[in-house]
Structure 1
């Protein structure tokens, strides 16, 4: 997918949100994130996105927030995970021990084999998704274009090989993986050591897309936009 088509597709998503009375703001000033996230209903950041981390820069993470009538109604974040030669399984098991420690050791005990074998290279991880109660709106009107914008920005900023997230089983039952524009869905993607963290679960699904699959989905959406 060339950069011109990428730009047209991004314009299409922004236009869809604008038609719904929504604006997107991009944050790389991390000091402003907790306050803005709280305004959109999120009272905490997951360890990987915690602003007290000193290793995140505007080149390694960003937040997007949605505004409606001057009010922040939702947001999410993305970070670059450049694995190099490390497998995703090794990366998740190593980092989770430090992010979610407990007296038993904590962290992820094992990772689903397809992830360990297939997902590698430069990854964009999306998390922190949250909306004020009753403000998600129609899927095609808000959530779908909002998440596609993350995909385009991750490709443009980081030249990623994969984009992924972990979602709870209840979201998978609602097929939010398709709303997000992802093409892969793997159940029980990680097994957490007991006791599981309060905010994580071994029933979570991996949802994601390879670069090739992402670009195909974006081109499919571009064909539907009347912006030429």
Structure 2
């Protein structure tokens, strides 16, 4: 892992957004992030990021806000869990049974299931939201998410990052649009979908995946926004 390459990629994302009048701000979990997010989106945050449901410290999570003219227009949150011997699937099996006791789910036992491949320091990415007036710009979305990826590896020392994308969104290619190279649409199935959730595709990127991407853009920095623009 080359942290300098990742820092360079993060800088490229920041500068590309700044050229469009946007600014990024990293905020510690448990500060005023919940209040700020609520101003942009009225919907309650998901249970994995609810303070009264959490099992992690401020040092293990953060929020990233995108601002335009001093106003928050988008945000996302990241939290890390470390699995020295086990796998993400085993943790979710215990954690989600506690968070959603009345909503059974199924994780395939096949070893190639994406949730069973992820181990080490695994970061869950959630709460991604863009205000309606700032949606529809694919390059901005990709730049924001890639800045989030870089921060997860630099700040949280992530080995893997993953998210759940609603299947109806993934059918339109949202998982790839966000920048996740690994998708598993059969890796997690709700038997009974809880309120606020949907049937979802597991999307992931490893630190190695991100490092390879950063290496490419370190050689061809001019391609960063052009490649993203192709995703419109």
Q: Give the conservation status (yes or no) of the 8 Å contact 1:63–1:76.
A: yes
Cα gap change, 1:75 to 1:115, in 2 (>3 Å): same
TM-score by length of structure 1 reads 0.88
| Partner Cα separation in structure 2 for residue 191 and residue 54 of structure 1 | 23
Q: Give the conservation status (yes or no) of the 8 Å contact 1:111–1:189.
A: yes
Q: What SS class does the counterpart of residue 59 from structure 2 fall into?
A: coil
Q: Does residue 224 of structure 2 align to residue 225 of structure 1?
A: no
Q: Does residue 130 of structure 2 align to residue 131 of structure 1?
A: yes
Q: Give the conservation status (yes or no) of the 8 Å contact 1:37–1:43.
A: no
Q: Give the conservation status (yes or no) of the 8 Å contact 1:39–1:73.
A: no
Q: What's 1:166 paired with?
A: 164
**Gaps (5+ residues) in structure 2?**
223-232
Q: How does 1:1-228 map to 2 (within 5 A)?
A: 1-53=1-53, 55-102=55-102, 106-111=103-108, 113=110, 114-140=113-139, 142-194=140-192, 196-201=193-198, 203-226=199-222
Cα gap change, 1:132 to 1:180, in 2 (>3 Å): same
Q: What SS class does the counterpart of residue 80 from structure 1 fall into?
A: strand
Alpha-carbon distance, 1:81 to partner: 1.4
Q: Give the conservation status (yes or no) of the 8 Å contact 1:36–1:72.
A: yes
Alpha-carbon distance, 1:39 to partner: 1.7
Alpha-carbon distance, 1:10 to partner: 0.8
| Partner Cα separation in structure 1 for residue 215 and residue 124 of structure 2 | 22
Q: What SS class does the counterpart of residue 182 from structure 1 fall into?
A: coil
Q: What SS class does the counterpart of residue 174 from structure 1 fall into?
A: coil
> Deviations 1:66-107 (Å, cap 9, x if unpaired)?
1111211110100001122222221111111111122xxx34
Alpha-carbon distance, 1:146 to partner: 0.6
Alpha-carbon distance, 1:171 to partner: 2.0
| Partner Cα separation in structure 2 for residue 79 and residue 117 of structure 1 | 18
**Gaps (5+ residues) in structure 1?**
none
Cα gap change, 1:56 to 1:117, in 2 (>3 Å): closer
Aligned length: 221
